[in-house]
Amino acid sequence: MVFCASSVAAFALLYAAWSAAAMEDSCAARVRTEAGWVCGACAPGGDYASFLGVPYAKQPLGELRFQELQPAEPWDGCHDASQPGPVCPQRDLFYGATRRPGLGREACIHANVHAPLQQLPGAGAAGCARSPRALLPVLVYAHGGGFGFGSGDPDLHGPQYLMGDNVVVVTFNYRIGPFGFLSLNSSSVPGNAGLRDMVTLLRWVQRNIKNFGGDPDDVTLAGQSAGAAAVHALTLSEAAQGLFKRVILMSGTSTRSFYSSSPLYAQLVAQMFLKQLGINATDPEEQHRRLIATPLEKIMDAHRVLQDIFGLTAFVPVVESPHPGVETILGDDPEVLQSQGRGKDIPFIIGFTNNECQTFRPRFEEIDIMSRIVDQPLVVMPPSATYVTPPAEVPEKIGKIVQRYFNGAPNLNKFIKLCSDSYFVYPALKLAEMRAANDGAPVYLYRFAYEPDYSVFQEALRLKYRGAGHSEDLTLIFRANYVLGDRTLSPRDRKMTDVMTTYVTNFMRHSNPTNGVAGWPPVSSKLQYQNIITPDLITTEVSRDLRSMMTFFDSIYSNSS
d(CA 468, CA 321): 39
Is 356 a residue of the active site?
A: yes
Q: Tell me, yes or no, if 143 is annotated catalytic.
A: no
Separation of alpha carbons 295 and 450, rounded Å = 45
Catalytic residue, chosen from 225, 251, 257, 261, is: 225
Question: Any bridge partners for residue 190, and if so which?
Answer: none
Non-local (6+) Cβ contacts of 190 within 8 A are 183, 184, 320, 321, 323, 326
- Which of 39-46's residues contact partners 24+ apart within 8 Å by CB, and which partners? 39/78, 39/79, 39/80, 39/81, 39/82, 39/124, 40/81, 40/82, 40/113, 41/81, 41/82, 42/117, 42/126, 42/128, 43/160, 43/163, 46/117, 46/128
Q: Is 451 a catalytic residue?
A: no
Q: What is the DSSP string of 374-438?
A: HH-GGGGS-HHHHTTS-GGGHHHHHHHHHHHHTTT---HHHHHHHHHIIIIIHHHHHHHHHHHHT
As a whole number of angstroms, the distance between CA 373 and CA 398 comes to: 11
Q: How deeply is 311 buried, as exposed, middle or buried, from its count of CB atoms within 10 A (0-12, 13-18, 19+)?
A: middle
Burial of 31 (0-12, 13-18, 19+ CB in 10 A): buried
Tell me the chain's radius of gyration from C-alpha atoms: 24
Q: Is 314:176 a contact under the CB 8 Å cutoff?
A: no
Q: Residue 62, SS3?
A: helix
Closest CA relative to residue 313, chosen from 275, 367, 376:
367
**Which residue among 68, 335, 356, 472 is the active-site one?**
356
- 3-class secondary structure for 494-556? HHHHHHHHHHHHHHHHHCCCCCCCCCCCCCCCCCEEEEECCCCCCEEECCHHHHHHHHHHHHH
CA–CA distance, 417 with 419 (Å, rounded to integer): 5
**Out of 420, 470, 471, 472, which one is annotated catalytic?**
470
Query: Which sequence positions are flagged as catalytic?
Result: 225, 356, 470
